[in-house]
Chains A and B, each alone.
Chain A
């Protein structure tokens, strides 16, 4: 008879731990023993989760894993959010990986595209974040998880600091299914500031010889915001934020939305919008939000990750940010994405390419990046039931049928009509629709946000309200109307544009009360990083690459 003690999975874990023998003292492993230990705890055919988040990387463990060879370790089913490091790519080059399921490969996008071309990238699917975490609980439950934490205590409890990110979503399914959790930590201490992962869920800990790789991803230097971006921000503020009274929202990480954040205390204040919009945020601690927070615009901010340099500021403003009792910043990507899915009025972000139907993507033949979190927020949550003003107003505009929800989330794409190097943003067909990419992805085109989910596109030309369009042809005409001098835009018909403008589906800056001549960087609450430090009363410590003083 099978009992809890003889269940095969549990027995298998016990055998793996047995094999470790004296390589570990209790839970603790010396850095030199890590490659040997990895060989003993991982078996061919395992689902292996290697923690690679948007910002935080279990880089020491990844590097040790990459020192092994195919004869040591093979037929691994790798699951991870972000393929970020050269060590990740090395595993594929060595032929150790049987299948990979992931979300995002930003920094290694070109390397991944090369692996695909060389047929060395056996991908299951590219996921959105919550989709992948959900599968950790269903059919992609890790046997072994290699994770990263800031500190461990002598019992093996873990402190994740500001960048909690994906860790709980990896540890829980692994630990509760007789899997093995192995954490690299920056340091082992006697007492942790707070316990994020209990020792009971951790099997091994190594004090890494160098601190984990942590990328500052969300710092946008106000000095790089252009007048055109200020114009777009003014148009968005009047034509969308003000119109729908957007109270809860997520901002992407581009310069367009940074411009909006920096306009709140100046232009927004002048429009009398304080207290009416932008109160509740699901967003990382963006340095460009400091002036709005200091001006009293923001009630709360929940984050999926941290941002380098914002530690002291967020601790001081624990009335706005979620923090531990000691003031240390707290984030959680799975819960943040869930919040961004169900609990916000608006998602607004940018994209590299938008096709004539409003589909967007950042993937091309030579650069396979994947998704990340935008699709979880940039979509219609049809499981939503609670009403807000913005949700109902946007819903009414979309003219819901008898079988549709009454409300709609605002999903806004904010893009300049051309990217750097005069590459048009608007295209007839996405590069992502390229047959070789579709083939590698089992017939799926990697679309970031589907046109059906998008309610508005904002460009320097104006706003296209896609939700108010009544046909596919109308939606295409609305997109052409704001696509400027791109090939897509040049195909617009004057009569159609005028008709759409008359019905308010297309709005030019002057239609929403914005004078383009007024759009200037001088409207921003500050024009440089040093200004953000001053707004923070010296509590913001920008990363060195942004400091010129």
Chain B
């Protein structure tokens, strides 16, 4: 047992470098171009030369891909106008060139300092993702950190064909503190880390079918999972949307009144809750009977 580099502890550029073929990444609109947020500057808040997202082209297993990684250290990876425009452009290019697009997510959603611009940018990126899907160009979201995918980015991640998660990754709309604020500490204690991860963490999302792969917190494992999904895509049709809607209605009916996340796990066929809690991502995936 010796330590290894954990994907969730790496920076955005380190993550891309670790994921793609050596020296294959060419960054687009890199920091020297100094595309910074005009809104943050007006508010006297420090800006970042990449506005919190790294985008570019690379190869993975010899195949061309477009790839982006959000920078959680910069305003929590939140999406502003420039950040969002970079993502929109990347997915549009993917659709145009019929090249798969991978998004390494680390974002709480829209940047509050430029709310409207951020909202519009996320909506435009979603539209670009749907363009990809209409053309059967695979789109894959990787969610591997505790900043996770929340707010608009949580929704955006579910617009992609597939989601690869680790047990550290979290996926949701409202964050734990917001839920606690509106529902009360009795309903949802945001300081209860075990509860937070059991409701929004990678394991539960995999169990419910929201994540398509649950892997080790390492670049190797994530690369393998992404490589397997690169050849697949699922086009959106009216029928597929209706089917998904039915599934979600069924889930709400089944678990909507459940206050105990362990009950959800049990109902999904997890027998040994303590063992499953302690298990790593892939161990859990092996022992869990996954359902929709």
Contact = CB atoms under 8 A, between A and B. Distances in A.
Interface of A: 265-266, 291, 520-527, 530, 533-535, 538, 544-549
Nearest to B2: A266
24 contacts: A265-B1, A265-B2, A291-B1, A520-B5, A524-B3, A525-B1, A525-B3, A526-B1, A527-B3, A527-B6, A533-B278, A534-B278, A538-B278, A544-B193, A544-B194, A548-B194, A548-B196, A548-B197, A549-B197, A549-B198, A549-B201, A549-B203, A549-B277, A549-B278
Given A525-B2, A545-B191, A547-B194, 14 more contacts: A521-B3, A521-B6, A524-B3, A525-B1, A526-B3, A530-B278, A534-B278, A544-B192, A547-B193, A548-B194, A548-B197, A549-B194, A549-B277, A549-B278
A522 B278 contact: no
B9 interface: yes
**Which of B4, B194, B197 has the most chain A CB within a 10 Å cutoff?**
B194
Contacts of B161: none
B277 A522 contact: no
Interface in B104-121: none
Interface of B: 1-6, 9, 146, 167, 191-194, 196-198, 201, 203, 277-278
Q: Is the interface of A mostly helix, strand, loop or mixed?
A: helix
Contacts of B5: 520, 522
A54 to B, nearest CB: 24
A533 to B, nearest CB: 6
A292 to B, nearest CB: 12
B278 A548 contact: no
A406 to B, nearest CB: 40
Nearest to B1: A525
A524 B196 CA distance: 27
A523 to B, nearest CB: 6
A410 B6 CA distance: 36
Contacts of A266: 2-3
Contacts of A523: 3
A522 B4 contact: yes
B9 to A, nearest CB: 7
Nearest to A546: B193
A547 B277 CA distance: 10
B1 A545 contact: no
Contacts of A546: 193
**Which of A521, A525, A544, A548 has the most chain B CB within a 10 Å cutoff?**
A548
A205 to B, nearest CB: 35
Contacts of A548: 146, 193-194, 196-197, 201
B221 to A, nearest CB: 15
B93 to A, nearest CB: 34
A177 B201 CA distance: 59
A522 B3 contact: yes
A524 B1 CA distance: 10
A525 B4 CA distance: 9
Contacts of B146: 548
A527 B9 contact: yes
A469 to B, nearest CB: 37
Contacts of B197: 548-549
Contacts of A549: 167, 194, 197-198, 201, 203, 277-278
Contacts of A535: 1
**Which of A523, A524, A527 has the most chain B CB within a 10 Å cutoff?**
A527
B31 to A, nearest CB: 22
Nearest to B191: A545
A422 to B, nearest CB: 16
Contacts of B203: 549
A294 to B, nearest CB: 9
